[in-house]
Structure 1
Amino acid sequence: MKKFVVLFSLLLLSSCRFFEGQVPDEEELLKKRLQEINWKEVSTYPSIGECDAITDKEMKKECFFSCMARLVQEKLGVDTIAMLYPEIDTIQVKVTVFSNATLKFEPEMPKDSVQYDKEKVDSIIKARLVDFPAIEPAQKEGVPVTTQFILPVILDVK
């Protein structure tokens, strides 16, 4: 029994040297982790209720963009914009999804749009694009972030 205790004590004392390694500095670990993160891409894209069942990241992204384009198109459908400016068949709308799940819409008028009243078009878009379903913001490393994208909206003149 004494031999076992002595052997166990030696083993215990010699194993302590395996724990003597340097503990990495907190700042060093943070810098390393920040370098590993891809800052140009979000972890999860914004989502809408219709797309919640989809698990594939790319398919969920496509579902979200197609649902948003459809909803914006339905809300702008036959509207004053198409009547005021019949030569405009497509309008680019910059959509901002904030981290607190609110939305902001801004029209992106063509560069040669001196003949269009940007303020009038902007006010029409802001008045029509309200009451959207709940949107889950994009996330980066589990933290909600603000994202922006441009949706092409086709205006139908009927």
Structure 2
Amino acid sequence: MKKLLPLIAFLLLQSCQYFEKNVPNEKDLLEKQMKEIDWKEVDEYPSVTDCEKLTDKELQKQCFFDFLTATIQEKLAVDTLSSLFPKLDTIEVKVTVFPNSMLEFEPQFPQDSVAYDTIKIDSILKARLVDFPQINPAIKRGIPVKTQFVLPVIIKQE
């Protein structure tokens, strides 16, 4: 037994070389990770407190978009936008949610929008679209990120 123990120890120490593997350098590893990341998709969409109760990712996303569209429509319903521009029934609004939960709204007009006073519409939107509830930013790999999307907002006719 005493002769067998040093032989086993020697074999164990010699077998470690078979487990050595080439470790990739950090640059190659970083490149590989960067290629695997889908930069067009986020892990968690922006949300509000009411929508965070939902567990399904798609339902949470739809809840957030519905909430935001309804809130924008509600804020614009009080204004004279529909009386100033009676032919304007829908405005597409580019919404930007920054990592610090700040919001930015920018109306998107078609190329042939000379019929509308885009500067006036933009100023009305900026004046009305303030004091939003707390919006939690989108999350990508555990980090809050900036997201942008375009929402069609129907202007209610009175």
Give deviations 1:46-72, integer Å, cap 9, x for gaps.
Answer: 111111111221111111111110111
Query: Which residue of structure 2 aligns with residue 76 of structure 1?
Result: 76
* Structure 2, gaps ≥5 residues long: none
Cα distance in 2, alignment partners of residues 114 and 49 from structure 1: 40
Cα pair 1:51 1:64 within 8 Å, conserved: yes
Q: CA deviation at 1:96?
A: 0.7
Q: CA deviation at 1:4?
A: 4.8
Q: CA RMSD in A?
A: 1.5
SS at match of 1:16: helix
Q: How does 1:5-154 map to 2 (within 5 A)?
A: 5-154=5-154
Name the stretch that deviates more: 71-80 or 121-130: 71-80
SS at match of 2:21: coil
Q: CA deviation at 1:137?
A: 1.0
* TM-score, scaled to structure 2: 0.92
* TM-score, scaled to structure 1: 0.92
Name the stretch that deviates more: 114-123 or 12-21: 12-21
Q: CA deviation at 1:15?
A: 3.1
Cα pair 1:78 1:156 within 8 Å, conserved: no
Cα distance in 2, alignment partners of residues 110 and 28 from structure 1: 45
Give deviations 1:17-37, integer Å, cap 9, x for gaps.
Answer: 134221211111111111111
Cα distance in 1, alignment partners of residues 113 and 31 from structure 2: 47
Q: CA deviation at 1:3?
A: 3.5
Name the stretch that deviates more: 1-10 or 70-79: 1-10
Q: Percent identity?
A: 57
Name the stretch that deviates more: 106-115 or 91-100: 106-115
Give the aligned length.
Answer: 158
Cα pair 1:46 1:135 within 8 Å, conserved: yes
Cα pair 1:92 1:152 within 8 Å, conserved: yes
Cα distance in 2, alignment partners of residues 23 and 102 from structure 1: 42
Cα distance in 2, alignment partners of residues 125 and 63 from structure 1: 23
Q: Alpha carbons of 1:15 and 1:45: their partners in 2 closer, same or farther (altered >3 Å)?
A: same
